[in-house]
Every structure is written in C-alpha cells, then in structure tokens.
Amino acid sequence: MKDIMAIPVRSGHEDFVAWHYDAKGVLSVKSAYHVLDDKKEFSTVRQRGESSGSREVTSGQFKWKKIWKLPIQPKVRQFIWRLVHNSLPVKKNIQGRLGLIDTLCPVCKRFDEDGGHCFLKCKHMRRCWLELGLSYLREELIELRLSHEVVIKILSLKEETCIMVLNLLWKWSARNAVNAGEKLLANSEIIYTVRQLTEEWKQKNEPSSVTQGDTAGHRHHKIS
C-alpha cells in the first residue's frame, strides 16, 4: 500500500484506461498478439527451468581463465563477469536492491526487464540476433535457465561466433543508459559495431601465408 501511495501523480489530469504493454497506452491487435506470444514462450521456458535444479555459479565450475584470455576489450570481459553473476543493472535486479516499482523494459515497454528478457526476448534485441544470422542460437540460449549456463554455452561456440555474440550482448547492454534518460541506440548502430568488432578480430587473427621468390633478386610476399 505504501508503494502505491508513493506513486507520483500529475494534478489537473483525469485518469484514463491505458494498455500497460504499449508506450502510448493504446490497445491494438498487434500488441495483444505479441503479449500472448511472449507469455507463451516465457511459460514454456519457466516450466523447463523448474524441472531442473538451480545451481549457484562457483569458481571451480566456471572457466574464468578462458574469459580473461579472450581477445576482446577489457570492458567486455568485465561485462561477462557481471553477466555470469547476474549483477547487471537491469530493472528486476535494481528492484531487489532499491525497491524499484517500474520494472518494465525501457525499450519495448511490454514485460519486466530481467537478464533473459533484456538479451534474448525483447523484440528489439530479437531483430539484432536475426540480422546477425544468430536466431538459431538465441532459441538455444532461451532453453537455459541460469546466466552462467548461457555464458558457458557461448564460450563453447566456434571462436568467431563466440566473439560476435559476446560483443552483441555487451553492446546491447549499453541500451541500459535509457534507464538514466539517455537516447536509445538504434539497432543498426548496434549491429554495425558488433560486425566491426568481429571484423577487427578476424583481421588480427587471420592466418597469413607468405610465398617468397627470388626472381630478379626480389622477394614476393603473398598474404591471403
């Protein structure tokens, strides 16, 4: 009751019926369909999760050295550490610490923002997975219940795919700045950055073959 009474209201404005899952409060067939679709997916994942025992991540079972050795930026490694420990500033985590009332995703404004929704279920993030050709992987990760299981799965991928996914999750986490009132990053900007970072990694790690010749006393180097 105290939380309800603490909700700020604007004087001089009449109450009106609003659709909770739309930014403008307008009910439409499209938004209703998406709500039902997301709830169905969430229910399926939760049932699978409840059938398996919950486990806490420990230093013994997690290969931290593999993370620290990854050829990625230090801030991405730090992000992964926080992801594994479920300590990212998503609204459900903030609610548990500060008693936040509004826990709706600041991007789609349809469901509560936890790690699973933020990185795998939000309709805007789904488009990023799709554009990068990784929708199949997103569906596999949704099957997992705990954050460290998700990271373990990602680390088991082919290195190029692993680097791309980790950069995608890190770059998408930057959209949490919306919670602080900053401008939302466009999907195109996120995808461009992820592809650029992955391409930079490929160039640094691409094996080169050198062919030498002594024709006319000159050396010819072929790099492929």
Residue ranges per structural domain of the chain = 74-204
Residue 51 predicted with pLDDT over 60: no
Confidence of residue 88 (pLDDT cuts 50, 70, 90): confident
Q: What dihedral do alpha carbons 99, 38, 171, 183 form, nearest 10°?
A: -70
For residues 96-120, average pLDDT: 82
**Cα–Cα distance for residue pair 99/103, rounded to 1 Å:** 10
Give the pLDDT mean for 49-76: 65
Q: What is the pLDDT of residue 29?
A: 65
pLDDT value, residue 55: 44
Band the pLDDT of 45: cuts 50, 70, 90: very low
Residue written as token pair 């009751």: 1
How does the average pLDDT of the chain come out, rounded? Answer: 75
Q: What is the DSSP string of the chain?
A: -HHHHTS---TT-------TTSTT----HHHHHHHHHHHHHHHHHHHHHHTS------TTTS-HHHHHTSSS-HHHHHHHHHHHTT-S--HHHHHHHH--S--B-TTT-SSB--HHIIIIISHHHHHHHHHTT-HHHHHHHHT--SHHHHHHHHHTS-HHHHHHHHHHHHHHHGGGGGGGTPPPPPHHHHHHHHHHHHHHHHHHH---------GGG-------
Of 169, 173, 174, residue with least CA distance to 151: 169
Instruction: Examine the pLDDT at 54 and tell me if it is beyond 80.
Output: no
